[in-house]
């Protein structure tokens, strides 16, 4: 099954989801393990060893963004594992939503990429306690229709605010990606040190971008359809948008070479406190997705993302790694803004300001 087919199927499935507590839950598979995830990640190609061992996929519930997921969990929604990204881990942990991980039960833990593991406050705290297993990582980057936009027109992320693209732009309805774009535009590569003046500059840039926005996309299915259908010509999107659009035959490319660099995010799995299901199956799932070259191959080929397990990633065809940009990780992360956790007060300001910007204020 191709990545595009998987995403479109996931979108169709979501249309018939039944409410379960405060979150939509797909048809139950393994009732002893529930995973709160982004739509599309329920594809069995992501966890073949789990299916082989337990006979079925886990049950999946879906969220649209991490702030939504945070509020649902805090309001009482129960699941065993969840799939947040780097910038949210500290917030979830400080809110008491997470259970520490027993890394001795996760196959391949010692093979996780050292550079990713070294990100401050991400996977482990200073006392060595593990809270997060990095798994998929990639970028939010300039993505464009090559038949309508010249490569020379998108050599800067400032293109998103260029009046000539009015009504032709889409960025994610995602505060982290939005402020990552704005931070790059104002020349900031460490947003954890954002000053009040820089916050104002970044917000002003997003207001200029808003004038050009035709839609704020919420998932990959939506942005792929907008790109392949010609609704928009320029997007700030994840790696898989270009990969899946190209697989559908559309003239869509992404640009990693913008003057300001690019932004890199790291997502992964956490174990939720008071998880109702099987702890053994939770660790079985973490091991299955982490320690399997077939999973890394699927992530890179079909989604255009990197796998956080260095050993699994190294097993992917070198030609494919080069094509997707993962052949030289040191070069890949050069001049990048890592979406590292930001202070809670700054994150709250970003959330509040982004809502005003989308509303036209």
Say what the pLDDT of residue 1 is.
34
Total tally of structural domains belonging to the chain: 2
- Determine, yes or no, domain membership for 236: yes
Tell me, what's the pLDDT at 332? 60
Identify whether 44 is part of a domain. yes
pLDDT at 8 over 50: no
Pairwise CA distance, residues 23 & 36, whole Å = 9
Q: How confident is the model at residue 213 (pLDDT cuts 50, 70, 90)?
A: very high
Give the pLDDT confidence score for residue 17 in this predicted structure.
36
Looking at the structure, do residues 147 and 31 belong to the same domain, yes or no? no
| 113 and 125 housed in the same domain | yes
In a domain, 87, yes or no: yes
CATH number at residue 250: 3.40.190.10
Residue 353 has pLDDT above 70, yes or no: yes
**Residues 6+ positions from 336 with CB-CB distance below 8 Å:** 139, 189, 261, 262, 263, 264
Are residue 244 and residue 286 in the same domain, yes or no?
no
Same domain assignment for residues 354 and 234 = yes
Could you tell me if 79 and 58 lie in one domain? yes
Q: Report yes or no on 182 lying in a domain.
A: yes
pLDDT at 14 over 50: no
Is 165 part of any domain? yes
Tell me the average pLDDT across 148-155: 97
Q: Are residues 85 and 117 in the same domain?
A: yes
pLDDT at 40 over 90: no
Q: Is 37 domain-assigned?
A: yes
Residues 196 and 233 in one domain: yes
- Burial-class residue 275 by CB neighbours within 10 Å (0-12, 13-18, 19+): middle
Q: In this predicted structure, which of 130-134, 267-271, 343-347 has the lowest mean pLDDT?
A: 343-347
Does one domain contain both 187 and 146? yes
Place of tokens 């839950």: 25
Over residues 230-272, the pLDDT tens digits come to 999 999 999 889 989 999 999 999 998 899 988 988 999 999 9
Cα dihedral across residues 253, 259, 260, 266: positive or negative: positive
Give percent of the chain above pLDDT 70: 90
Residue 11 has pLDDT above 90, yes or no: no
Q: What is the mean pLDDT of residues 315-319?
A: 92
Q: Which residue has the higher pLDDT, 345 or 119?
A: 345
Res 22 pLDDT > 60: no
Q: Does 333 fall in a domain?
A: no
Q: Is 332 inside a domain boundary?
A: no
- Same domain for 11 and 109? yes
CB within 8 A of 254, min separation 6: which ones?
141, 142, 143, 144, 237, 239, 241, 242
According to DSSP, the residues that pair with 60 across neighbouring strands are: 35
Could you tell me whether strands 23-25 and 18-20 are parallel, antiparallel, or unpaired per DSSP bridges? antiparallel
User: C-alpha angle 168/170/174, rounded to 5°?
Assistant: 165
In the predicted model, is pLDDT for residue 5 greater than 50?
no
| pLDDT tens per residue, range 275-292 | 999 999 999 999 999 999
Residue 330 pLDDT class (50, 70, 90 cuts): low
282 shares its domain with 245: no
> Could you list the residue range(s) of the whole structural domain that residue 231 is in?
138-263+338-358
Check whether residue 285 and residue 257 sit in a common domain. Answer: no
pLDDT in tens, 61-118: 998 888 889 999 999 999 999 999 988 888 899 999 999 999 999 999 999 988 788 7
Res 334: pLDDT? 62
pLDDT of residue 220: 86
What is the residue-averaged pLDDT of the chain? 88
Q: What is the pLDDT of residues 180-189, one digit of tens each?
A: 999 999 999 9
Distances (CA, A) of 307 to 41, 49, 165, 275: 14, 16, 34, 26
Same domain, yes or no, for 254 and 312? no
């Amino acid at each position: 099954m191709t990545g595009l087919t998987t995403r479109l199927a996931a979108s169709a499935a979501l249309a018939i989801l039944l409410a379960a507590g405060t979150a939509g839950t797909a048809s139950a598979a393994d009732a002893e393990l529930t995973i709160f995830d982004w739509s599309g990640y329920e594809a069995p190609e992501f966890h073949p060893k789990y299916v082989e061992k337990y006979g079925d996929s886990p049950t999946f519930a879906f969220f649209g963004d991490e702030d939504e997921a945070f509020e649902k969990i805090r309001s009482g929604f129960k699941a065993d594992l969840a799939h947040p990204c780097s910038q949210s881990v500290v917030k979830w942990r400080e809110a008491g939503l997470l259970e520490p991980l027993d890394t001795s039960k996760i196959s391949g833990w010692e093979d996780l990429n050292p550079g990713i593991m070294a990100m401050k406050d991400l996977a482990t705290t200073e006392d060595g306690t593990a809270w997060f297993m990095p798994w998929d990582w990639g970028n939010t980057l300039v993505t464009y229709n090559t038949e309508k936009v010249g490569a020379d027109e998108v050599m800067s992320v400032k293109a998103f605010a260029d009046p000539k693209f009015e009504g032709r732009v889409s960025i994610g309805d995602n505060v982290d990606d939005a402020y990552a774009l704005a931070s790059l535009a104002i020349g900031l590569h460490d947003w954890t040190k954002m000053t009040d003046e820089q916050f104002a500059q970044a917000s002003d840039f997003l207001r200029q971008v808003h004038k050009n926005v035709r839609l704020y996309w919420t998932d990959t299915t939506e942005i792929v359809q907008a790109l392949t259908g010609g609704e928009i010509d320029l997007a700030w999107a994840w790696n898989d948008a270009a990969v899946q659009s190209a697989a559908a035959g559309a003239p869509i490319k992404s640009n990693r070479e913008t003057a300001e660099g690019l932004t890199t995010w790291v997502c992964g799995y956490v174990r939720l406190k008071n998880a109702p299901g099987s702890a053994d199956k939770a660790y079985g799932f973490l091991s299955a997705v982490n320690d399997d070259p077939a999973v890394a191959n699927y992530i890179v080929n079909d989604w255009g993302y990197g796998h956080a397990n260095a050993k699994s990633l190294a097993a992917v065809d070198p030609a494919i790694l080069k094509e997707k940009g993962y052949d030289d990780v040191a070069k890949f992360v050069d001049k990048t803004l890592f979406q590292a956790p930001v202070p809670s007060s700054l994150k709250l300001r970003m959330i509040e300001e982004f809502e005003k910007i989308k509303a036209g204020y």
